[in-house]
A and B are shown apart, each in its own frame.
Chain A
């Protein structure tokens, strides 16, 4: 008994330490609902982890079968996809309801296209004789391409999206947050998405569409997909890189968008600015 007491006395500071820590932990768990939850979660995580490991190991033994079925499925999907792309290229932009009323779509072939400069232009085979005017938007089968800048009788020259001076008003498809896409001159497959406030939830892979706020592009034409998201501590906007929907180096078919209400909208703008 005396020995036990002496032992307890000898290590009294360690015992007190343990007791106080236990009280602290008890307080932590008791008085903070989050800790209760996280305690449960972490124990679940351990269990889940073990389960996952077991499952992963089991998977190795069926890999051959899985590969076989995946390969078959791939072949089937590829076949369907090729049909779909064919149909898509020529029918996706077929006019429907409101767009049919407002926008006229003029197919045009790319005559010349540069991608290697800081300011790139595209030469298209439709001109003023086909009703093309400067300022019209140009889109491709998979996304936006640029904007017509100068027009001759049979040809027009469009500013490519790969031009340092072009900015396109865009919206994130998921939550309609308005931003602005601009090419930064580095990679022909990438551009910057600017002015997305950092409180807006976004994720890699989100689709960027045109906002339709100007009369150049109709609403909802794909611009790109979010590729990387960066947040700087002292900035109020995200630093977003997007992968452009259009591949510019093999661009051949484009569609020029003619807004039938362009004149009306412009005159309204002039009235309000005066």
Chain B
């Protein structure tokens, strides 16, 4: 990874986490659709990132979001899990379209492959978040609907972000 792209990722990391903690944690549609779009940072990490670095990044980002949202542990667990699953899932879902030096963005892969790649991971992440949350609070009102709508919401947001960011990531 070049120095330039490291700076880019650092900046976007701060952007993702800040936006999530300050703004999107409060953007909830009908008490059902939540937007955890910081997951996008983890999903769109470069493919040649070391697995250990991925896990640690996932943990730290999850922890940061947890600290902001007062949900200690929930997002950390969810993020570490999807970061662990990510390399394997990439191989399975879009392994034939990307090589180890490429990025995951809309220029490299098509929208359908993007959907196939990202929605299951988002879904798993959200399932972890809402299930842990519902076990903890003892209310399981609408948990499945929350997971479903939030997955859709998060993906839509990420897609829009991708549309904005993709041109600047040109190699």
Contact = CB atoms under 8 A, between A and B. Distances in A.
Interface of A: 12-14, 16-17, 20-21, 23-29, 31-32, 34-35, 38, 42, 233-234
Nearest to B51: A13
B72 A32 contact: yes
A273 B73 CA distance: 62
A233 B77 CA distance: 30
Contact of A28 (B32, B74, B81): B74
5 contacts: A20-B76, A28-B77, A32-B136, A34-B138, A38-B136
B145 to A, nearest CB: 10
Interface string B126-156: 0000001001111000000000000000000
Interface stretch (B2-10, B16-24, B52-60, B161-169): B52-60
A246 to B, nearest CB: 35
A117 B63 CA distance: 65
Contacts of B104: none
A24 B73 contact: yes
Interface string B107-142: 000000000000000000000000010011110000
A144 B51 CA distance: 73
Nearest to B80: A20
A27 B73 contact: yes
Given A35-B73, A233-B32, 6 more contacts: A13-B52, A13-B55, A16-B56, A20-B56, A27-B66, A34-B138
Interface of B: 30-32, 51-52, 55-56, 58-59, 62-63, 66, 72-74, 76-77, 80-81, 84, 132, 135-138
Q: 8 smallest A-B Cβ distances: which pairs?
A: A28-B73, A27-B73, A24-B77, A13-B51, A24-B76, A31-B72, A17-B84, A20-B80
Contacts of B136: 28, 32, 34-35, 38
B52 A16 contact: yes
B80 A21 contact: yes
Given A21-B81, A23-B59, A32 B73 contact: yes
A262 to B, nearest CB: 47
Kindly name the residue among B30, B32, B52 whose own CB sees the greatest number of chain A CB atoms within 10 A.
B52
Nearest to B84: A17
A38 B30 CA distance: 27
Contact of A24 (B31, B52, B56, B59): B59
B138 A38 contact: yes
B55 A31 contact: no
A20 B138 contact: no
Contacts of A234: 30
A124 B137 CA distance: 57
Contact of A23 (B74, B76, B81): B76
Contacts of A34: 136-138
A255 to B, nearest CB: 44
Contacts of A233: 30-32
A89 B63 CA distance: 68
A14 B135 CA distance: 26
Contacts of A23: 59, 76
A20 B137 contact: no
B168 to A, nearest CB: 30
A20 B77 CA distance: 8
A208 B84 CA distance: 56
B52 A38 contact: no
A180 B74 CA distance: 44
Contacts of B80: 17, 20-21, 24
B76 A27 contact: yes
Contacts of B81: 21
A220 to B, nearest CB: 34
Contacts of A38: 135-136, 138
A13 B73 contact: no
A75 to B, nearest CB: 44
